[in-house]
Amino acid sequence: MTLTIPAGMPQYDDAPRFDVEKVRADFPIFGRAVNGQPLVYLDSANTSQKPQQVIDALAVHYALHNANVSRSVHTLGTEATEAYEDARAKIANFVGAPSPDEIVFVKNSSEAINLVAYAFSPRSEDDRFRIGPGDEIVISEMEHHSNIVPWQMLAERTGATLRWFGVTDQGRLDLSNLDELVNERTKIVSIVHMSNILGTVNATSRITKRAHEVGALMMLDASQSVPHLPMDVVAYDVDFIAFTGHKMLGPTGIGCLWGRGELLNAMPPFLGGGSMIETVTMEKTTYAAAPARFEAGTPPIAEAIALGAAVDYLTNLGMDAVLWHEKELTAYALDALVTVPGLKIYGPQIPVGRGGTISFSLGDIHPHDVGQILDADGVQVRVGHHCAKPTCARFGVPAMTRASFYVYTTTEEIDALVRGLEKVRKVFG
């Protein structure tokens, strides 16, 4: 298909691209209808759809290679272990990690962030993780609850103080008080890289530089950015990133924590059990090196292998092409949505420094009503506070409607959204 790029946006003939219709052919779900209408899926920031290649990776593992990992010397156990560790290596390469041992498999970004928060304690033997009254934790007002609640819990159990960056009217982080907010009392700064509600892609270099100047650790919630743009953890110079498989064409129940190897090995285990040990006696246990020390018990083996298949799929498309496709879609959508009377977009109004996630309100029509009428026409969007209630409060609304795009999204689907919103306006007068 051919995209019509809005006036004023650069048109690069040599920009990396892929054939969207060929991509869609890999996704079985696009062959179905919803409420008698063709499926228009605009909720990828919530969870992405899965290509047949990922579905097959799950099925083939269970059908032909099913066994536990790191426990057996028999053929099936060896095959499962090799496939599991091969997936770890693919993912490490995908995010530019220097070593596969810096990738910890978890079940989602929430667990990854909790794992890092758990490492902080008043009793820590490592000063970088020792925290108590007088120390500070810095987040922002645009965080997903997964990057708010763990830090609130840490502050409550240690007496540390939680502080945060504000958000400007344009949906950007307010860094005007950066040097005051991130100071010698700061132990960790943890911010979202791409907002799940505003679509903002936060510039992190100034924050990271300041955090390291004062001896603080720096973490990015990259749940929305790793699926949508090239990631190189070395270039970003952060200490930890969290991301999740189900938003990047992979299955649910699998996510990743990347951390600097030296930091991971300085952190205490998050859970105790099999596989995370070095040796066990009745009197004492010593722990394995990372990543094993954080992967107690039987891990999500098939899910990790399928996430490796998802990484293969995205790598074959090319993340530069994924980024460019979504930049064009976002420009098209922003241009189209402003034609809807009464519609207000929250977050950046231009396709620069933002991703393909657009949240909006439509007059005084409740987002749940908007979502129900769109669903009747097969258009799937998310409504509510998007696990970002403080962001909604910042903009004075209880909820928003959100459309979000991915590699399989087309301009025709955005047109269907606009037609649906016109229908909403007619229904509610």
The yes-or-no verdict on residue 5 having pLDDT over 50 is no
Residues 6+ apart with CB under 8 A from 327: 351, 356
Question: Could you read off the pLDDT of 136-192 as tens digits, one per residue?
Answer: 999 999 999 999 999 999 999 999 999 999 999 999 999 999 999 999 999 999 999
Q: What is the pTM of this model?
A: 0.94
Window from 69-83, 123-137, 177-191 with minimum mean pLDDT: 69-83
pLDDT of residue 2: 37
pLDDT of residue 14: 73
Question: Could you read off the pLDDT of 320-372 as tens digits, one per residue?
Answer: 999 999 999 999 999 999 999 999 999 999 999 999 999 999 999 999 999 99
The yes-or-no verdict on residue 423 having pLDDT over 60 is yes
Average pLDDT rounded to a whole number, residues 99-111:
98
SS (H, E, C) the chain: CCCCCCCCCCCCCCCCCCCHHHHHCCCHHHHCEECCEECEECECCCCCCCCHHHHHHHHHHHHHHCCCCCCCCCHHHHHHHHHHHHHHHHHHHHCCCCCHHHEEEECCHHHHHHHHHHCCECCCCCHHHECCCCCEEEEECCCCHHHCHHHHHHHHHHCCEEEEEEECCCCCEECCCHHHHCCCCEEEEEEECECCCCCEECCCHHHHHHHHHCCCEEEEECCCCCCCCCCCHHHHCCCEEEEEHHHCCCCCCCEEEEECHHHHCCCCCCCCCCCCEEEECCCCEEECCCCHHHCCCCCCHHHHHHHHHHHHHHHHHCHHHHHHHHHHHHHHHHHHHCCCCCEEEECCCCCCCECCEEEEEECCECHHHHHHHHHHCCEECEEECCCCHHHHHHCCCCCEEEEECCCCCCHHHHHHHHHHHHHHHHHCC
Could you tell me the domains of the chain?
20-50+318-427 (3.90.1150.10), 55-315 (3.40.640.10)
Spot the catalytic one: 336, 387, 397, 418: 387
Is 387 among the catalytic positions?
Answer: yes
Tokens 């509610």 map to which residue?
A: 428
Question: Could you read off the pLDDT of 229-287 as tens digits, one per residue?
Answer: 999 999 999 999 999 999 999 999 999 999 999 999 999 998 999 889 899 999 999 99
